[in-house]
Structure 1
Amino acid sequence: MGLIMESRFAPAGGGLAIVTLTGELDVASAAELRGHLAALIGDGAGHLILDFARVEFVDSNGLSVLAGVHHLLRHPRRPGADEHAADAGALAVASVNQRVRQVLRTSGFTRIIPIYPSVETAIVVHEAGPHHRPAPGER
């Protein structure tokens, strides 16, 4: 089936990008997603929320993309950026079905990447700031 990606900044021109994915995140689509997310980061997205409501399947290639993007956001390589300061970004996933959630849980991703019940919840937590974000696994 492939993977369809639609992105928007919220608010427009801000540092938060919401990416809605439809289809399968697998060997055939992983490189395209990696490129898409890297372009968003290059355009100023320091925080990404991936809407998984219509993601039917994730394999190890998709997990690799998530791990790489998580690392890139947490350890920015921008001049003068401090990876432990506010410059560090975040990756979150929202609206995950049970099948994909089980893959994320089994692979350990739920310990490092927050999963929210909806995009709206993820946005609210993001807007509350880093001091109000629950640790992974506490959502």
Structure 2
Amino acid sequence: MGLTVESRADPVHTDLVVVTLTGEVDVATAGRLRDHLAALIARGARHLVLDFAGVAFIDSSGLSVLAGIHRLLSSPERPASGEGGAGSGGEGSRADGSGEGGRASGTLALAGVNLRIREVLRTTGFTRFVPIYSAVEPAVAVHQTTVPRAGP
């Protein structure tokens, strides 16, 4: 079936991006999704809400992408392009969750996940570390109230 990926940044919290997915997240599409999400992070997105309302199927390749993006966002100090890999950091992290430059770690949330995919996420343990919301609006609202505004 394929996968369509569309992104839109929040107008107030510019480091919050909603990514709408339509189709299947599988071995044929996971690499493109990973590259798209990694590019958003490289451009400054720290909080991603993935709208799964249009996703009919996810396989282990898709789960691997979600795990890697979660790890990348959770790292207090993400490397710049070409420096290290997902999840590197550690040294230079502060107790407040920010890195050397004061950059806080980011978040990943899912929204509109159908019951079959939700069960896969629960069974594999994703629901322990990635929140799932009924729709995009509540996920964005939670982030807007808990995340400081980006920019000056």
TM bin (shorter chain): 0.7 to 0.9
Where structure 1 has 5 or more consecutive residues not aligned to the other structure, the ranges are 131-139
Where structure 2 has 5 or more consecutive residues not aligned to the other structure, the ranges are 81-90, 148-152
Q: Which has the higher helix share?
A: 1
Identity of paired residues, percent?
A: 56
RMSD in angstroms over aligned alpha carbons?
2.0
Q: Using CA pairs under 8 Å that are at least 6 residues apart, name the structure with larger relative contact order, 1 or 2.
A: 2
TM-score normalised per structure 1: 0.87
Distance 1:30 1:91, change over 3 A: same
TM-score normalised per structure 2: 0.80
CA offset at residue 77 of structure 1?
2.1
Residue identity in the other structure for 1:124: A
Distance 1:32 1:22, change over 3 A: same
**Where does residue 133 of structure 1 map in the other structure?**
none
Residue identity in the other structure for 2:19: V
Paired positions, count: 130
CA offset at residue 128 of structure 1?
1.6
Residue identity in the other structure for 2:111: A
**Where does residue 97 of structure 1 map in the other structure?**
114
Q: Runs of at least 4 residues of structure 1 off by over 6 A?
A: none
CA offset at residue 12 of structure 1?
6.7
Instruction: Give me the whole-angstrom Cα distance separating, in 1, the residues matched to 2:18 and 2:114.
Output: 18
Matched, 1:21 2:38: no
Distance 1:13 1:105, change over 3 A: closer
The answer on whether the counterparts of 1:25 and 1:55 sit within 8 Å (CA) in structure 2 is yes
CA offset at residue 82 of structure 1?
3.5
Structure 1 or 2, whichever has the larger Rg, is 2
